[in-house]
Amino acid sequence: MDDDVENVWMTGLPDKYKARPNRPEFENMCMAEFASEYRIVYAGQTKRKNVLPLQNKLGHIQKRTRGKPAVIRFARFSEKKDPEKFYGTLLKLYLPYRTDRQLKCTKFPTYQTFYALASVKLPGSDEVQRVYNIVSKNREKYEKHNEDIERAIEDFEKNGPIEDAWTTLAPTNELIRLESIMEREPIDPNEVNEQDDIPEYTASSSVSNTAMPLMEAAKLSTAQIRKMYQSLNQTQASIFYAVRDWCKRCISGEKPEQFLYFLNGGAGVGKSHVVKSIYAEASKILRRLPCMQENTDISKATVLLAAFTGTAAFNISGKTLHCLLKLPRSLKPPYQGLGNSLDEIRADLSNAHILIIDEISMVSKQLFAYVNWRLQQIKGNHKPFGGLSVLCVGDFYQLPPLGRAKPLCVYEEHVLDFWKDHFQMITLTQIMRQREDLAYAELLNRLRIKQKHEKLTDADKCMLEAVIRSGPEECPSDALHIYATNKEVDNHNTAVISSRFSEIITVYANDYKKDPRTGEMKRQGVPLKGDKRDLVDTLQIAIGVRVMLIRNIDVEDGLVNGTFGKVAKITTLSRDGVPFVHLIGLHLDDVNAGQKHRNKAPGDDNIVYIERLEEPLKRKGTIRRQFPMKLAFACTIHKVQGMTTDSAVVSLKHIFEPGMAYVALSRTTTLSGLHIIDFNENKIFCDPEIRTSLESMPKADFCDFQPILHLLQDSNLNSAIKIIHHNTEGLQCHMDDLKCHHELLLADILCLTESHLSGLCVPEYLQLDGYTMYMRNRHSSYTNYAYLANKNGGGVAVYVKKIFQARPMMYIQNVTDLEYLVLKLEAPKQALIAVIYRPPSYRLSDFLLNLNGLLTSLEILNIKPVIVCGDFNEDQLSHCNKPIMNLFYDKGYTQLISTGTTENNTLLDPVFINTTHSNVRAGVLQTYYSYHDPVYCILE
């Protein structure tokens, strides 16, 4: 290159290789050869390139290797092509100390390495002596132990490596290693040891390289899951059904567009509750995806549950985002792709279709961008988030991301944005945490959006005054104290332990520092001064003290940064006669947490044992071994986001961020459980940008998933007749589900098939308030077909609102061998409503005959409209012949349902009407407890 060329900087070997000279000998050269043979020479050096004398070269090399041993490897291409000549020349040069045998190699087989440029010319014969002198000198200098080494090599070649060479080579280190192994408990390969970047915690220097354990389904029993579904309020149910519907469309092969939803709502509105429900249901449905059928490893999750902090992740039985997507500690652009672990994570997430991120308010824009890029890389798809559907959940009025970064929802020009224009919002408004104390719940809603200089209303002030205390002495001492800063927390904890406990044990950190001379890690007599994010240098504990874990020891097992408990046992051992604390046993507040960490010592099975963690201190070259916990009579507000408690003392003194006061004040289930100290209403404030950002966010439209509720907002429909049919797949076991459904009980006439009931009278538990029930069991429905009568299942039932005048027609002349019920509606309007069930095994020709009989009888009654609903086990969406539908058409009926009514997207549950009624609305409702969805029809 010319001297004045500036563009000389190349970042690495591939660049240098790419820019290799455009000469024939380089053309077919591989990078490895290029790397071993060539070095870039700059400016002045290039001028002498053809005649660099060997002694110069040697001197140069010696300088470069800083006097370390080096061996010459000559690579002159012209000579290489004629090896005999080449080695002949070399032989002359090195005869005094090289044997023929050794020279038969392309590389000199010694223990030192030296590369000369290909352009080096072999010295002429007059230079031989000079080179010889130099080489002899070097040899004296570097090959002092040559004989020993030769012997060792021979020995090695003959006998192989010494088995425990490390012991001989570095005895002290080996001793330390063995001691460490003895001290260490067996490691569970499933444990994930990764940490969060949240305030006051150490961020480990590298990403955890522990193999990613498989996602497990939420550890809830079927009964618990069912209870959760039943408890969903109306808005919670709408998003639940929206996601459920999306999953159903996936399994029916429809390939629906990815959804990107944001589930918004204040503290305690039940966001996490919905997440758990969605996770359970979506995982169940997506298990039927074709890829899951083909894939032998069905343990790979279809729905990924993640959160920013370990506490939030455990709360929803998920993982931290960092751990799930193997994100690096530093999220600074440019994006660092996954290297070797890409295949592994790709396999792990191969079935993933939905990602749920809880506590989204704490996710920074950078982290969110990383999640997007990572998923794009993993899925090999350029769609946002690699084509995965994403449900973000959280409350932007709660804690913002660290470092005062703006929350995701606040758009900033020139800052990476994957939120705006992508996500649609749904807001939960009904507070569930404080549902027993509605006044408090409403107060919290107002505090959530209070601006900094906005004044509280007199009524709100009055409510709060009832719980404002002049100081901690007026508050229950055993309640959790919540402060804004670590300093306040530490002061409180120290004061409590020294005033209330006597047998206090001080656990010092075991600190190690590298000896600069020997490189050995030396145990320090007293703990080193650590950073505030390091594990504590001295931990004061006693039986009964409250503590909190400060590291994510095992997220899946609930041992996370922010897990609370009480010290129940302190196990000591002794080394050289000096006792030391070996394990600390805790009774955790969450009895489900720490299942894997029990039984490490004899005694109480409920004790969860925690051992020391080893971590590098912030100061280089130092290591600390300490229990990852601290006292927790008090904790910071950052630790309580997501927590529900009966009683808490909240100090507002040092609040420094928007949303902090709101998070702290919204933890207790009732106002009486809250005690406020250092009250200052100006400390309760939100980020004003959040309100405007949320107001401008597109809203998700879930009307289709609860259509009757939506339609009834139109007051004209209040007097319309609402008829619903549902194949319940067993009424007895689904009675609670039916009662909790938000739309089924809006029906005036609720027709049910497959009630699976026997007997003739309606038992008490099947009664619904405000309804009269009629039923017909399968056994009494057939006279001529024993093969059907003797089978279990089947049966039909109808619930009619008591305000209606209706007459059941259980037996109609000439109508036999049908599972049916007909209801003659007399007031306020006239109509005939029939519900029919046709078992799949019912021979079609026989069924058509009997159905025809029924339809003819209904015709004779001359009442209009006639509405016939039921499960006919004939797919109305199928392209095959549909004899049942044809019969109805022949009789002048119209079918009202146009979309699938089952999980497989078949239309087995049609609704037929015999008039061309212009004001009929009909469609499909959602449920979770049957293979069939209910269908409705509203007659104005």
Ligand X SMILES: Nc1ncnc2c1ncn2[C@@H]1O[C@H](COP(=O)(O)OP(=O)(O)OP(=O)(O)O)[C@@H](O)[C@H]1O
> Where along the sequence are the contacts to ligand X (CB under 6 A)?
231-233, 236, 265, 267-273, 395, 432-433, 642, 644
Given CA atoms 458, 463, 465, 468 in this order, what sign does their dihedral have? Answer: negative
Count CB-CB contacts under 10 A for residue 124.
9
CB of 389 to ligand X, least distance (A): 20
Torsion, CA 741, CA 822, CA 756, CA 241, rounded to 10: -20
CB of 385 to ligand X, least distance (A): 22
Q: CB of 535 within 8 A of CB of 618?
A: no
CB of 663 to ligand X, least distance (A): 8
Nearer to ligand X by Cβ, of 272 and 309: the residue is 272
Please, which residues have CB within 8 angstroms of residue 68's CB and are 6 or more apart in sequence? none
Nearer to ligand X by Cβ, of 666 and 914: the residue is 666
Q: Is 225 helix (H, G, I), strand (E, B) or coil?
A: helix
Both tokens of 473, joined, read 């002495």
Nearer to ligand X by Cβ, of 472 and 562: the residue is 562
Torsion, CA 620, CA 622, CA 628, CA 631, rounded to 10: -90
CB of 270 to ligand X, least distance (A): 3
CB of 481 to ligand X, least distance (A): 19
| CA–CA gap between residue 280 and residue 21 (Å, rounded) | 61
CB of 271 to ligand X, least distance (A): 4
Range list of H helices, 469-581: 486-500
| CA–CA gap between residue 398 and residue 687 (Å, rounded) | 10
CB of 227 to ligand X, least distance (A): 9
| CA–CA gap between residue 392 and residue 77 (Å, rounded) | 63
Nearer to ligand X by Cβ, of 103 and 709: the residue is 709
CB of 306 to ligand X, least distance (A): 15
Nearer to ligand X by Cβ, of 433 and 597: the residue is 433
| CA–CA gap between residue 418 and residue 810 (Å, rounded) | 61
Nearest position to ligand X, beta carbon: 270
Cα–Cα distances in angstroms (integers) from residue 323 to residues 193, 531, 550, 869, in the given order:
9, 24, 17, 51
| CA–CA gap between residue 722 and residue 925 (Å, rounded) | 13
CB of 355 to ligand X, least distance (A): 18
Specify the residue for token string 């455990």.
Answer: 314
CB of 305 to ligand X, least distance (A): 13
* Phi and psi at residue 452, to the nearest 5°: -60, -45
Give the DSSP H/E element, type plus range, for residue 868.
strand 866-871
CB of 191 to ligand X, least distance (A): 26
Nearer to ligand X by Cβ, of 359 and 511: the residue is 359
| CA–CA gap between residue 855 and residue 876 (Å, rounded) | 19
Both tokens of 64, joined, read 């470069």
Nearer to ligand X by Cβ, of 167 and 644: the residue is 644
Q: For residue 263, list its beta bridge partners.
A: 393, 426
Q: What is the DSSP letter of 468?
A: B
Both ends of the chain: CA-CA distance in Å? 88
CB of 760 to ligand X, least distance (A): 37
Please, which residues have CB within 8 angstroms of residue 898's CB and are 6 or more apart in sequence? 907
DSSP code per residue over 148-166: HHHHHHHHHHHH---TTHH
Nearer to ligand X by Cβ, of 377 and 427: the residue is 427
| CA–CA gap between residue 483 and residue 489 (Å, rounded) | 6
CB of 268 to ligand X, least distance (A): 4
Nearer to ligand X by Cβ, of 267 and 935: the residue is 267
Nearer to ligand X by Cβ, of 271 and 319: the residue is 271
Name which of 581, 574, 510, 511 is nearest 542 in CA terms.
581
Please, which residues have CB within 8 angstroms of residue 634's CB and are 6 or more apart in sequence? 480, 481, 482, 483, 488, 489, 492, 493, 496
CB of 641 to ligand X, least distance (A): 6
Is the peptide bond prior to 865 cis by the omega test (within 30 degrees of 0)? yes
Please, which residues have CB within 8 angstroms of residue 633's CB and are 6 or more apart in sequence? 480, 481, 492, 493, 496, 497, 545, 546
Q: CB of 656 within 8 A of CB of 568?
A: no
CB of 712 to ligand X, least distance (A): 22
Give the DSSP H/E element, type plus range, for residue 305.
strand 303-307
Nearer to ligand X by Cβ, of 242 and 289: the residue is 242
Burial (CB count <10 Å: 0-12, 13-18, 19+), residue 19: exposed
CA atoms within 13 A on the CB side of 134: 18
CB of 395 to ligand X, least distance (A): 5
| CA–CA gap between residue 187 and residue 189 (Å, rounded) | 6
Both tokens of 879, joined, read 């392209």
Nearer to ligand X by Cβ, of 273 and 597: the residue is 273
Torsion, CA 402, CA 403, CA 409, CA 413, rounded to 10: -150
Nearer to ligand X by Cβ, of 224 and 498: the residue is 224
Nearer to ligand X by Cβ, of 236 and 389: the residue is 236
CB of 448 to ligand X, least distance (A): 10
Specify the residue for token string 């002045």.
Answer: 44
Nearer to ligand X by Cβ, of 539 and 663: the residue is 663
Is the peptide bond prior to 828 cis by the omega test (within 30 degrees of 0)? yes
CB of 359 to ligand X, least distance (A): 7
| CA–CA gap between residue 681 and residue 592 (Å, rounded) | 38
Nearer to ligand X by Cβ, of 307 and 584: the residue is 307
Length of the chain: 940
